[in-house]
A and B are shown apart, each in its own frame.
Chain A
Amino acid sequence: MPFGNTHNNFKLNYSVDDEFPDLTKHNNHMAKVLTKEMYGKLRDKQTSTGFTLDDAIQTGVDNPGHPFIMTVGCVAGDEESYEVFKDLFDPVISDRHGGYKATDKHKTDLNFENLKGGDDLDPNYVLSSRVRTGRSIKGYALPPHNSRGERRAVEKLSVEALNSLDGEFKGKYYPLKSMTDAEQEQLIADHFLFDKPVSPLLLAAGMARDWPDARGIWHNENKTFLVWVNEEDHLRVISMQPGGNMKEVFRRFCVGLQRIEEIFKKHNHGFMWNEHLGFILTCPSNLGTGLRGGVHVKLPKLSTHAKFDEILTRLRLQKRGTGGVDTASVGGVFDISNADRIGSSEVDQVQCVVDGVKLMIEMEKKLEKGESIDSMIPAQK
């Protein structure tokens, strides 16, 4: 919807050569994969909601990327995008997700009881635990492409579903455009408030249109379960708490998600999901589980060890600063989370975090005593 290039018939008056974007200075997954032939084959196609290839790639054309950081460079405008433009999305997904093939099947497992351990991470080291994912509501276009009417419908349906939750999930919705100053202050203090995206990658994809219309934050009374409505995805769901009880965080995550899903399904608008890609989200990097489960953990000695990065890779984990992606660590405290999103289940990924963090804390303790950790270095998982 948002961009001029959606008028397909008109632009077909121009040759593929004339329309093909100049990607010679680009470094993102889309640019590495999109050939003139592929462009020629896909450019006159559109999904049933009118999303086109040019819409999908605009963000990657406008943002050449960085020589060291490989961004994805394309987004989906609706569930069908991944099908209609599979010639582009399949290789992008494969590149981004470690060789995941077009024929692979993704496993979904939100049965928290399958998680072993995770309730005993040493709180002297683990400051907080958190699991997040995203969900898209079937039957509505995604943030890059939806109209105001659709976005409001997603908000209304989501708020209805969330407000029907009870017990530990009883909570309240705060729409961005009508929250009071006091509410805003509180949400900022709680680190819950999200703001209009400033990243040119997101802006160029069109997901910030009409801000702050139909955007808001819902959280339960205990402030341990939080949902963002209409930010980068239809929903972002977050379960968190101080301390190291990842098992409890994951339990609440799974239960909450399943309760919400039931309500959406009743209205015949379940979550977008298929057995190849798992949960469908706007950015291909979040396909599969869309899950990032992590902890803030103190590892001052281990983090300066020569093999720290290698250990993380072998454990299928990723480090970030405590401000989130692209921030630096402060005081030896790192955000450690799963690196994978697709090809393994939610339980698998959180298990990686639980087991990996447990091992790294033991390593840290060894290093504190001046002992070597060479024998503890794990094999590649």
Chain B
Amino acid sequence: MASMFTRVLSGRNTAVIMASLGAGSLVSSYIMTESGVSAGEKKKLYPPSADYPDLRKHNNCMASVLTPAIYGQLRDKLTPNNWSLDQCIQTGVDNPGHPFIKTVGMVAGDEESYEVFADIFNPVIKDRHNGYDPTTMKHPTDLDSSKITSGMFDENYVLSSRVRTGRSIRGLSLPPACTRAERREVERVVVQGLSGLKGDLAGKYYSLTEMTEQEQQQLIDEHFLFDKPVSPLLIASGMARDWPDARGIWHNNEKTFLIWINEEDHTRVISMEKGGNMKRVFERFCRGLKEVEKLIQERGWEFMWNERLGYILTCPSNLGTGLRAGVHVRLPLLSKDSRFNKILDNLRLQKRGTGGVDTAAVGDTFDISNLDRLGKSEVELVQCVVDGVNYLIDCEKKLEKGQDITIPPPVSQFKK
């Protein structure tokens, strides 16, 4: 009578169970707590195979990579903040993905996650970042905006320019894992730092819990306000807990430098302006970031960063630079050309609608930005966008004159 119980109850309990099998019923005399087995006992009662998720209908980077063997090795490990593998992958288990869109399917709970669970993060990173191998490669960080050339676009085509990234505060858990106190600490540390910014960077903080109706309306009108995430991918990872506690928006008086606090990452940093002066946008981006870093360092804090993965953020897709530099650009003729997508691919650019990721283009205006995040520096990526967008505008102009265009050769990936 090998019922499921003899399989489930292993270890010291098995002898007791086996002894009573002859009676045709299970009379167990082992001590069970009120609720059942202790967390420690669970490891013996439920081997990793009992907990291994069913990923057969899944299509995300985590599911492609998580074998029962890796799960078995990592299930019982914890980071110093008690964050576990199951917590990293919950979002990918709960969201099988889409046959055409491959999501990442896992998040980090803290800086150490990338280390403790390296056996799964590394292959996921490789899959997501075009073969970047954290065990053998180094990521270059370069925030010297003076190196950018031809960074001024034709404003007959480019309507606006924007660069964004994220930064995490070392020593505090990331949004999926943080306690309320940690999240409030992130808010305190960052807001304090930002209050030291001067000149064109001087600005003000608007906490989500305390902003007035008026302030809220203003921020909505300016397209600055972020709201509680609705995406099941984000919600399943736990980053929306305790909303809107310790969340807020900071921006400079000129409204060209903006920081989101405790949304999907500790901070998201955005530099933007109307028109085509990407060089200036990037200059302010770099200057602002360096200023903020200096200000938090004065109080003994720093950003999470290492030479293998660059800047550490919640989602592996944002490792490295975490940078998305882009423009809103009108390309009425080129966008209808059958070669448009191939040109973008070779330029390592990505198109989105003007509402951002997963939106459709309105009219002929596209959001064009860099595809890559890790393995190339900030300067390289922004230059890539600059060169690429200039090429696209060139194509558009050629088509206007009835001339033919060519597909450019593919831009190289990262230096090995």
A residues in contact (CB < 8 Å) with B? 1-7, 9-11, 14-15, 18-22, 47-50, 54, 58, 61-62, 78-81, 83, 138-141, 147-150, 152-153, 156-157, 160, 177, 203-204, 208-211, 213, 266-268
Contacts and interface: CB of A to CB of B under 8 A. Distances in A.
A23 B89 CA distance: 30
Contacts of A48: 33-39
Interface residues of B, number: 55
A201 B242 CA distance: 13
A14 B35 contact: no
A7 B83 contact: yes
B375 interface: no
A160 B238 contact: no
Given A11-B179, A80-B33, 12 more contacts: A19-B181, A48-B33, A48-B39, A78-B36, A147-B86, A149-B45, A149-B51, A150-B46, A177-B54, A210-B90, A213-B93, A267-B26
Majority SS at the chain B contact face: loop
Given A11-B179, A268-B26, A138 B36 contact: yes
Contacts of B240: 62
A62 B54 contact: no
A153 B50 contact: yes
Contacts of B214: none
B4 A156 contact: yes
A268 B30 CA distance: 10
A7 B93 CA distance: 22
Of all A-B residue pairs in the complex, the 10 with the closest CB atoms, nearest first, are A7-B82, A4-B177, A149-B50, A14-B181, A149-B46, A18-B181, A78-B35, A139-B36, A80-B35, A149-B51
Contacts of B72: none
A14 B173 CA distance: 13
Given A3-B241, A4-B179, A21-B242, A49 B39 contact: yes
A210 B53 contact: yes
B166 interface: no
Contacts of A156: 4
A177 B36 CA distance: 27
Residue among B3, B8, B36, B90 having the largest count of chain A Cβ atoms under 10 Å? B36
16 contacts: A7-B81, A18-B185, A19-B179, A21-B242, A48-B35, A49-B38, A80-B34, A147-B86, A149-B42, A149-B51, A208-B94, A209-B90, A209-B236, A213-B53, A268-B26, A268-B28
A48 B185 CA distance: 30
B387 interface: no
Contacts of A160: 3-4
Interface string B44-79: 011100111110010000000000000000000000
B53 A49 contact: no
Nearest to A24: B209
B109 A4 contact: yes
Contact of A50 (B39, B46, B86, B238): B39
Contacts of B245: 21-22
Contacts of A11: 179, 181-182
Contacts of A152: 50
Contacts of A47: 35
A213 B55 CA distance: 10
Given A148-B50, A153-B50, A266-B25, A49 B181 contact: no
B34 A83 contact: yes
A61 B241 contact: yes
B5 A19 contact: no
B51 A49 contact: no
B15 interface: no
A58 B241 contact: yes
A153 B4 contact: yes
A267 B32 CA distance: 13
A141 B47 CA distance: 16
A4 B38 contact: no
B303 to A, nearest CB: 21
A78 B36 CA distance: 8
B274 interface: no
A5 B179 contact: yes
Contacts of A15: 181
Given A10-B82, A203-B235, A147 B179 contact: no
A153 B53 contact: no
Nearest to A6: B82
A21 B36 contact: no
Contacts of B109: 4
A62 B81 contact: no
Contacts of B38: 48-49
A50 B45 CA distance: 16
B278 to A, nearest CB: 38
Contacts of A61: 241-242
A138 B28 CA distance: 14
Nearest to A20: B180
Nearest to A266: B25
B33 to A, nearest CB: 4
Nearest to B36: A139
